[in-house]
Structure 1
Amino acid sequence: MQNVALQLRAGDEVAIAMRDIAAGERLAPFATVAREPIPFGHKVALQALSAGAPLHRLGQPIGLATAAIDAGAHVHVHNLGFEVSLAEREIGTRLSNTPFLPASEVPTFDGFRRSDGRVGTRNYVAVLTSVNCSSLVARMIADHFRNPAVLADFPGVDGVVALTHKSGCSVSEGGRSMGMLRRTLGGYARHPNVAGTLLVGLGCEDNQIKALMRDEGLVEGPAMRTLVMQEVGGTRSSVAAGIRAVEEMLEQASKAVREPVPASALTVGLQCGGSDSFSGITANPALGAAVDRLVACGGTAILSETPEIYGAENLLLERAASRGAGEKLVGLLDWWEEHTRDEPQGLDNNPSPGNKAGGLTTILEKSLGAVAKGGTTNLVDVIAYAAEARGPGLIFMDSPGFDPISATGQVAGGANLICFTTGRGSCFGCKPAPSLKLATNSAMYRRMEEDMDVNCGEILDGMASVDEMGERIFRAMLATASGAPTKSELLGYGEDEFAPWHVNAWL
């Protein structure tokens, strides 16, 4: 009989349905019989459980039974819940000794080496805005260069991208939200995938361009221009002036050429969205295996989405390379517990309806898969949203669990590539950084192949191991960094997903 239920670790009280299971069907390879229909990817009890009993997945607690559960019963939101994280918070108890590769063995990719020594995987000119009021002008400037005939005069340039947002006013000077906005804009202006930046403002906003430039150490010059609409003379005059400024930066940007650089120059942002029950079995651990390879090469990976490690924080804390890093992570989790205290479901408002339809029940369960993206190497640092990620190694950046906000922070921190796992089928890009999409199951991959780059469902199908898929993802990272277009780039994703995080009483 073909196995239809997968127990992820001996001792887990539940197994995962490998296909839709009918009531009365044996849960092969187990003798237990399904008491009711079990949807694909959902959990089924392998034993009878009393109310209040803990349930485990991969040997980790994912919640408590809210009612008595019979063997063979469907385990989901109707009978599984939790109140607080059940994870231990001991720091540095299981450190990794993963060695770095000798320089002679580190693979290379073809990147753009910038004057500050950092390396770009793309070559864009960016039009940024200090405030929402300058968004239309920024888009009109970028739109002028969307005509391939116009951009043809600047070979080697990937395009002109307008990155706009909905803030910049009603933001207090010196406040947390202003600091995050300026860090984000500064990080994009300095990004190695950006050869030139035009910063467009209205003129009367709270987020004054001069203050932004001062706080972020930005200096106006050939590759860093500013434009204030109220000074230039209005919309049409501003668009014309902006086009002239971008044309001059494009001439310089087109002189950049790709050259071989070591994989240590990669900084990869790790994202998951539209997760399902298989995310923590296939794509996420496979991405973790790729991250282990990247770190061994001296590269850097950024794990984020603080609410989505809640309940699995022990898996990061036990390999925190310093007590300070571990304590900072605990502090972030404490802040998020307080921040979500007045929400109807607190931190358990995540998973989303789509996650639950895919078989995930509690945030504790979802977090197990999310943490797997970070691989097995040590956690070397914990940083604020949009702060510079200084590797090498695995770094944790504070952010919400909303993918556009989280990825925006990672790119601001220096990520020159994004790897994004999905089980339900997220469609996403994050210009100026290319985004690789990793599918967790073959059914979704086949259904949405035009959006997916790698099918990690082959692990579930028995066609590849997690480690083999990790090697494939790592090679895809290098190819993408060398200029191979991702599916999201071919479809045009990446500008609308720019979304700085705000924690602001006035918005």
Structure 2
Amino acid sequence: MQSKHTTSDNPVIRLNRDDDVVIARTQLIGGTWLAAEGVAISGLIPPGHKVATRSIEQGKAVRRYGQIIGFASRPIAAGEHVHTHNLSIGDFDRDYAFCADARLTVPATTPAFFQGIVRRDGRVATRNYIGILTTVNCSATVARAIAENFRRDIYPQALEAFPNVDGVVALTHGIGCAVDPEGEGLAMLQRTIGGYATHVNFSSVLIIGLGCETNQIARIIERQGLQPGNDLQTFTIQDTGGTRRTIALGIEKVQAMLARANEVIRERVPVASLVVGLQCGGSDGYSGISANPVVGAAVDRLVSHGATAILSETPEIYGAEHLLTRRAISREVGMKLVDRIQWWEDYCTRNHASLNNNPSSGNKAGGLTTVLEKSLGGIAKGGRSNLVEVYEYAQPVTAKGLVFMDTPGYDPISATGQVAGGANLICFTTGRGSAYGCAPTPSLKIATNDALWARQQDDMDFNSGPVVNGLDSIEAMGERLFLLMIEIASGTRTRSEKHGYGQNEFVPWQIGAIT
């Protein structure tokens, strides 16, 4: 993909000289002459949508980013709108060429630092919460009731004496029972709970169960290697004596944890301590042009400083995975990614679903047509760095550099897996205007275009729109985003944190039969 765009007075953006389409910067009307392309617009082209720059025969491949994004479902004339009415998915061979594009990572010449919270075990946090986790839906109400007693917006005095505590959050879910006790689904849920129970951004954690559920606390402790103590306490509603007593006990335990949690201070630590989850939601035709490549430029800087970035959303790299296998540091790492793609193909077949049908209604309204087009833009979040490891959902991420975690494309589920794996910062791009947060990890929201920034600035932290307009470069904006990531990691609150997002967005991946 080329990162240099045409000047701002050009009404369209050409991404690659081999492309069959260009992208409208603004709404284009019929008759508009595209001088650089030598074609006239036919009909109305919405902003972010594609325009054919040459005639394309039915059945022929259509390229964007220099890559195949689909096939013409009928003849397409030069200047015509290219979208769902004339572009469809199709099969084609992809050359995985393992490691062909892997390159030597050049360390940054100037060290970068942020103000982090160093835990007793040496891990570095970006936030300092007390967490309340649940084993099952049945204990969700009491967990939320306990956390409600420590909300600063309702009871300011509750945490008045503990300014270094970011809050008390209840992360509840709707599963945990009527599942195979030895099945993949329960193992995944327990891995997720284990990852949150030990997350660096939690000073202390309560795990609350009902008592009779399949997802037993003792089994979670055993399988996840957890160590109960002052900072990890567990109990059940049935053993405690009902709802009222459980809420009272939970409040008492949180109050006892607060003084210890408040003892932290922020200190100067290397950027290498950051583990950044990469997300895109509510994508549009500009996502792969502006916000995602800008994130990719910031990721390359993170990797050069020894940090970790987690690319995910497997259905949203489908059809473009060959661009990652080419950057894998070994054939083994590349094959791990291919194995996850094949797992998804089988998973969709078993559930009578189509992996080719990922783009949402909002994605299509914003100009994206096929999963191939969406995937090619989504991969841009990974920059140009080597792929050093591939993880299953919610597995602990230990490698440094760009890694991949297998997750669905649905953002709350995907980010939940990343945070369970250790992400202490999330970068979330959006073109349509997703509303999202991710306690206990701050989520930095990045707009793809000026119109979204102007309309929904109250939810956005960074605007990549100048790239679309040709007024700024991907590299320059990537540097600014990198500096903003350092600022957020150092304690500056994101928009979603100020709005209180983050608890309802805890959504573990649910697979397997519910009986």
TM-score where L is the length of structure 1: 0.98
Secondary structure at the aligned position of 1:449 is classed as: helix
Distance 2:53 2:206 in 1: 60
Matched with 1:299 is: 307
Indicate whether 1:391 and 2:399 are aligned. Answer: yes
Distance 1:450 1:56 in 2: 36
Q: CA deviation at 1:405?
A: 0.1
Q: Any conservation in 2 of the 1:21–1:34 contact (CA below 8 Å)?
A: yes
Distance 1:384 1:115 in 2: 28
Q: Any conservation in 2 of the 1:96–1:376 contact (CA below 8 Å)?
A: no
Distance 2:400 2:227 in 1: 27
Matched with 1:368 is: 376
Where in structure 2 are the equivalents of 1:346-425 lying within 5 Å? 346-425=354-433
Where in structure 2 are the equivalents of 1:227-306 lying within 5 Å? 227-306=235-314
Where in structure 2 are the equivalents of 1:34-433 lying within 5 Å? 34-84=41-91, 86-101=93-108, 105-146=110-151, 147-341=155-349, 346-433=354-441
Distance 2:374 2:440 in 1: 29
Distance 1:477 1:301 in 2: 12
Distance 2:59 2:251 in 1: 64
Q: Any conservation in 1 of the 2:61–2:72 contact (CA below 8 Å)?
A: yes
Distance 1:295 1:85 in 2: 32
Indicate whether 1:30 and 2:37 are aligned. Answer: yes
Secondary structure at the aligned position of 2:147 is classed as: helix
Q: Any conservation in 1 of the 2:25–2:469 contact (CA below 8 Å)?
A: no
Q: CA deviation at 1:17?
A: 1.0
Q: CA deviation at 1:86?
A: 4.7
Distance 1:28 1:239 in 2: 69
Answer with 330-339 or 364-373: which moved more.
330-339
Q: Any conservation in 2 of the 1:430–1:494 contact (CA below 8 Å)?
A: yes
Q: Any conservation in 1 of the 2:133–2:205 contact (CA below 8 Å)?
A: yes
Q: CA deviation at 1:358?
A: 0.4
2:458 to 450, 463, 482: 450
Distance 1:372 1:134 in 2: 40
Distance 2:223 2:254 in 1: 24
Q: Residue by residue, what CA displacement relative to the aligned partner does 1:32-85 show, whole Å, maximum 9, x if unpaired?
A: 111211111111111111111101111011011111111111100111111336
Distance 2:496 2:92 in 1: 35
Between the two proteins, what is the percent identity of the paired residues?
A: 52
Letter in 1 for 2:114: F
Distance 2:513 2:235 in 1: 29
Secondary structure at the aligned position of 1:302 is classed as: strand
Unmatched tracts of structure 2, length 5 or more? 1-7
Q: CA deviation at 1:336?
A: 1.1
Q: Residue by residue, what CA displacement relative to the aligned partner does 1:169-209 show, whole Å, maximum 9, x if unpaired?
A: 01212211111101110101100100000000000000000
Q: CA deviation at 1:26?
A: 1.2
Q: Any conservation in 2 of the 1:430–1:498 contact (CA below 8 Å)?
A: yes
Unmatched tracts of structure 1, length 5 or more? none
Q: Any conservation in 1 of the 2:108–2:301 contact (CA below 8 Å)?
A: no
Tell me the matched-pair count.
505
1:440 to 448, 465, 471: 448
Q: CA deviation at 1:4?
A: 1.4
Letter in 1 for 2:123: R
Answer with 81-90 or 136-145: which moved more.
81-90
Distance 2:146 2:180 in 1: 29
Q: Any conservation in 2 of the 1:271–1:420 contact (CA below 8 Å)?
A: yes
Q: CA deviation at 1:461?
A: 2.1
Q: CA deviation at 1:479?
A: 0.4
Provide the aligned C-alpha RMSD in A: 1.3
TM-score where L is the length of structure 2: 0.96
Distance 1:422 1:108 in 2: 27
